[in-house]
């Protein structure tokens, strides 16, 4: 029994020391089941999609964190994933970005699509446990539609987004901003 | 423990090695690889008398997605579990999935989660508050062929499998198990997710989760439901049918409520009636998220019909890395 206890503690310690992303309630990787359901709403003409994973170099990480003026969350610092939406000939129609941002009661997960002109086409909340309801109101979410990747640096509640400043709305705004900046740095420049 | 571990260690290493070679060495220009490892350690006390400290599970999973010019096409997934102080090492899931356009259809070959009840959307394997699949279906995953997909708000899955669960890769008597599930989930995450499922055939219950060691004939229908509402999630499943031609019914009603930013309250009521035996239980628990990927849970199961009361304490850790 003592050996078992020792092994367990050792394993636990080992697991706890390992850095990087984890998938659980408090981890900021978007746990997206059945992505097709949302993808077809944002890009009804899409025939298929391709998952793209980009490694984040230390230099790119610094640039992204300088631009968003905060650290990326655990689970988002090593790789960046997005989806290319394709037509029946394999041509690009746009991109889907799945985001997970820290709310008051765990992660707020949401998904949005950008066209080839890099403007937002649609946004959907995927999962949240918040008591606050402001962030899921259509009048708040619809303000992101038409925003361009170039608007990311100045995106802020009270400036170009009109909403009650709650933990939920702030999380969605900073999540969209972070995803757009990361996409610009990693997908359009590299 | 050392005897079992020595015996099972080679199985575990072999399983992991096979999985790795399948997934890592199958190189492709456009591919995404995810690795996950999790550790579930528990203290359990039964009827406030017998207690046990154990490693409930050490899991290791790999997922690799391959894409062609038209999009994501092939998914390879494997999950190897070392359960119950490493006594049982098993490939919990291991399959190849060929993905059709926009996931409208997928063909899955190998060992996968059976499309029945809450299982495709919710797994309580690493939780203290348990759903009823091991008592209704008798297993969680099975080897066979599945066709599934998503069309607008609807999803479907139909499976033809062996009914041997995680204990055997080969069939016993060529009597298949047919299962299906059709579900609906709206665009809004707070819309009700509802499903209707059925299962027919001869099932050999997983030995680690069941006292039954002989095959049983099942004929089951189930309705499942998941509803998110603010800080609360409600999950329910009602199953009815036959087990060896005797009436079977089961009810699971569970809820998680985020009471504090890092703390959830967990409640569940379970009812199970099969072959003349009836059990009813209430489980109450607390989940505390210490930090990303590290959770502590406590739970108390109260049996309402004189069966075992179980107190549990769990430390759970999970890590994932994408390449």
Interchain contact, A47 vs B188, CB within 8 Å: no
What residue in A sits closest to B86 (Cα-Cα)? A4
Q: Which pLDDT value is given to residue B70? A: 85
Which of A20, A34, A51 is opposite residue B150, by nearest beta carbon? A34
Q: Which of residues 109-168 of B touch A (CB under 8 A)?
A: 121, 150, 152-153, 155
Which of A11, A49, A136 is opposite residue B39, by nearest beta carbon? A11
Quote the minimal CA–CA distance from B274 to chain A in Å: 33
- Evaluate if residue B18 carries a pLDDT over 90: no
Which of B295, B315, B320 is opposite residue A29, by nearest beta carbon? B320
Phi (first) and psi of residue A4, to 5 degrees: -65, -45
Contact with chain A for residue B186, Cβ under 8 A? no
Q: How confident is the model at residue B152 (pLDDT cuts 50, 70, 90)?
A: confident
pTM to 2 decimals? 0.86
Greater pLDDT, B122 or A75: B122
Q: What is the dihedral of CA A75, A25, B143, B106, to 10 degrees?
A: -70
Domain range annotation of chain A: 18-187
The string of pLDDT tens digits covering residues B46-89 is: 998 889 999 999 999 999 999 988 899 999 999 999 999 999 99
Q: Alpha-carbon distance B90 to B206, whole Å?
A: 11
Interchain contact, B189 vs A11, CB within 8 Å: no
Contacts of A36 in chain B (CB under 8 A): 102-104, 150
Interchain contact, A40 vs B289, CB within 8 Å: no
- Evaluate if residue B22 carries a pLDDT over 70: no
Which of B1, B71, B323 is opposite residue A3, by nearest beta carbon? B1
Quote the minimal CA–CA distance from A130 to chain B in Å: 5
Q: How confident is the model at residue B138 (pLDDT cuts 50, 70, 90)?
A: very high
Nearest to B21 by CA among B59, B64, B58: B64
Phi (first) and psi of residue B227, to 5 degrees: -140, 120
Q: Alpha-carbon distance A177 to A170, whole Å?
A: 10
Contact with chain A for residue B229, Cβ under 8 A? no
Mean residue pLDDT of chain A comes to: 84
Site from A9, A28, A48 to mutate, B interface, most B CB atoms within 10 angstroms: A48
Tell me, letter by letter, the H, E, C secondary structure of chain B: CHHHHHHHHHHHHHHHHHHHHHHHCCCCCCEEEEEEEEEEEEEEEECCCEEEEEEEEEEEEEEEEEEECCEEEEEEEEEEEEECCCCEEEEEEEEEEEECHHHCCEEEEEEEECCCCCCCCCCCCCCCCCCCHHHHCCCCEEEEEEEEEEECCEEEEEEEECCCCCCCCCCCCCCCEEEEEEEECCCCCCCCEEEEEEEEEEECCCCCCCCCCCCEEEEEEEEEEEEEECCEEEEEEEEEEEECCEEEEEEEEEEEEEEECCEEEEEEEEEEEECCEEEEEEEEEEEEEEECCEEEEEEEEEECCCCCCEEEEEEEEEEEEEC
Contact with chain B for residue A29, Cβ under 8 A? yes
Which of B1, B101, B153 is opposite residue A4, by nearest beta carbon? B1
CA distances from A24 to A74, B6, B166 (A): 12, 31, 25
Inter-residue long-range contacts of A7-14, CB under 8 Å, 24+ positions, other chains counted: A7/B55, A8/B41, A8/B53, A8/B55, A11/B39, A11/B41, A11/B55, A11/B58, A12/B39, A12/B41, A12/B315, A12/B317
Q: Which of residues 56-85 of B touch A (CB under 8 A)?
A: 58, 65, 67, 69-72, 85
Quote the minimal CA–CA distance from B284 to chain A in Å: 19
Q: Alpha-carbon distance A79 to B100, whole Å?
A: 26
Helix axis angle, A58-68 to A167-183, nearest 10°:
140
Interchain contact, A27 vs B53, CB within 8 Å: no
What residue in B sits closest to A44 (Cα-Cα)? B152
Contact with chain B for residue A4, Cβ under 8 A? yes
The string of pLDDT tens digits covering residues B289-302 is: 998 789 999 999 99
Q: Which pLDDT value is given to residue B197? A: 98
Mean residue pLDDT of chain B comes to: 89
What residue in B sits closest to A21 (Cα-Cα)? B320
Contacts of A111 in chain B (CB under 8 A): none
Task: Give per-residue burial for B130-151: e unless 16+ CB within 10 Å, then b.
Answer: bbbbbbbbbbbbbbbebbbbbe
Q: Which pLDDT value is given to residue A8? A: 54
Contact with chain A for residue B103, Cβ under 8 A? yes
Q: Which pLDDT value is given to residue B78? A: 95
The string of pLDDT tens digits covering residues A144-168 is: 999 999 999 999 998 889 999 999 9
The string of pLDDT tens digits covering residues A13-52 is: 455 444 333 333 334 444 566 688 889 999 999 999 999 9
CA distances from B86 to B45, B165, B208 (A): 20, 18, 12
Q: Which pLDDT value is given to residue A29? A: 47
Phi (first) and psi of residue A63, to 5 degrees: -60, -45
Q: Alpha-carbon distance B183 to B191, whole Å?
A: 13
Q: Which pLDDT value is given to residue B285? A: 97
Interchain contact, A40 vs B319, CB within 8 Å: no
Contacts of B65 in chain A (CB under 8 A): 51
- Evaluate if residue B31 carries a pLDDT over 90: no
- Evaluate if residue A189 carries a pLDDT over 80: no
Interchain contact, A34 vs B102, CB within 8 Å: no
The interface predicted TM-score of the complex, written ipTM, equals 0.81
pLDDT mean over A79-108:
92
Contact with chain B for residue A102, Cβ under 8 A? no
Interchain contact, A23 vs B293, CB within 8 Å: yes
pLDDT over 90, % of chain B? 72
Q: Count of CB atoms within 10 A of residue B278's CB? A: 12
Local structure of A175: helix, strand or coil:
helix
Contacts of A52 in chain B (CB under 8 A): 30, 32
Q: For residue B276, what are the β-bridge partners?
A: none
């Amino acid at each position: 029994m003592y050996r078992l206890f020792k092994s367990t503690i050792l394993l636990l310690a080992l697991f706890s020391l390992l850095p990087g992303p984890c998938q659980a309630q408090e981890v900021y990787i978007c746990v997206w089941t059945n992505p097709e359901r949302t993808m077809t709403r944002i890009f009804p003409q899409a025939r298929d999609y391709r998952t793209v994973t980009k490694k984040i170099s230390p230099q790119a990480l610094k640039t992204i964190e300088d631009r968003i003026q905060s650290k990326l969350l655990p689970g988002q610092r090593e790789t960046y994933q997005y989806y290319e939406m394709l037509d029946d000939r394999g041509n690009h129609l746009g991109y889907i970005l799945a985001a997970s941002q820290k709310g008051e009661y765990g992660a707020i997960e949401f998904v949005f699509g950008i066209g080839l002109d890099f403007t937002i086409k649609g946004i959907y909340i995927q999962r949240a446990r918040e008591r606050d309801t402001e962030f899921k109101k259509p009048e708040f979410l619809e303000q992101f539609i038409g925003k361009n990747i170039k608007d990311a640096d100045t995106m802020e509640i009270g400036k170009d987004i009109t909403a009650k400043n709650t933990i939920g709305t702030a999380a969605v705004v900073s999540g969209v901003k972070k995803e757009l900046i990361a996409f610009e740095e990693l997908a359009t420049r590299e | 423990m050392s005897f079992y571990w020595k015996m099972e260690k080679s199985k575990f290493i072999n399983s992991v090695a096979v999985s790795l070679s399948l997934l890592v060495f199958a190189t492709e220009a456009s591919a995404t690889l995810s690795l996950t490892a999790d550790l579930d350690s528990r203290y359990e006390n039964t009827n406030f008398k017998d207690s046990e400290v154990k490693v409930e599970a050490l899991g290791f999973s790999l997922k690799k997605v391959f894409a062609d010019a038209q999009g994501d096409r092939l998914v390879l997934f494997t999950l190897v579990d070392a359960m119950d102080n490493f006594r049982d090492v098993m490939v919990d899931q291991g399959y190849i999935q060929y993905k059709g356009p926009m996931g409208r259809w997928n063909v899955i070959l190998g060992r996968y989660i059976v499309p029945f009840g809450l299982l495709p959307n919710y797994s309580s394997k690493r939780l203290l508050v348990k759903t009823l699949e091991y008592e209704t279906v008798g297993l969680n995953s099975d080897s066979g062929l599945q066709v599934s997909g998503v069309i607008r708000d609807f999803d479907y899955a139909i499976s033809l499998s062996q009914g041997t669960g995680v204990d055997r890769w080969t069939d016993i008597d060529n009597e298949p198990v047919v299962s299906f599930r059709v579900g609906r989930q709206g665009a809004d995450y707070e819309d009700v997710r509802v499903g209707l499922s059925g299962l027919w055939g001869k099932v050999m219950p997983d030995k680690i989760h069941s006292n039954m060691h002989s095959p049983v004939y099942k004929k089951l229908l189930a309705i499942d439901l998941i509803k998110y509402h603010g800080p609360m999630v409600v999950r329910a499943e009602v199953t009815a049918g036959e087990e060896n031609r005797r009436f079977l019914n089961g009810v699971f009603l569970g809820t998680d409520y985020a009471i504090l930013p890092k703390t959830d309250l967990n409640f569940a009521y379970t009812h199970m009636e099969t072959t003349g035996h009836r059990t009813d239980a209430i489980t109450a628990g607390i989940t505390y998220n210490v930090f990303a990927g590290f959770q502590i849970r406590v739970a108390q199961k109260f049996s309402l019909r004189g069966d075992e009361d179980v107190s549990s304490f769990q430390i759970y850790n999970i890590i994932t890395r994408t390449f």
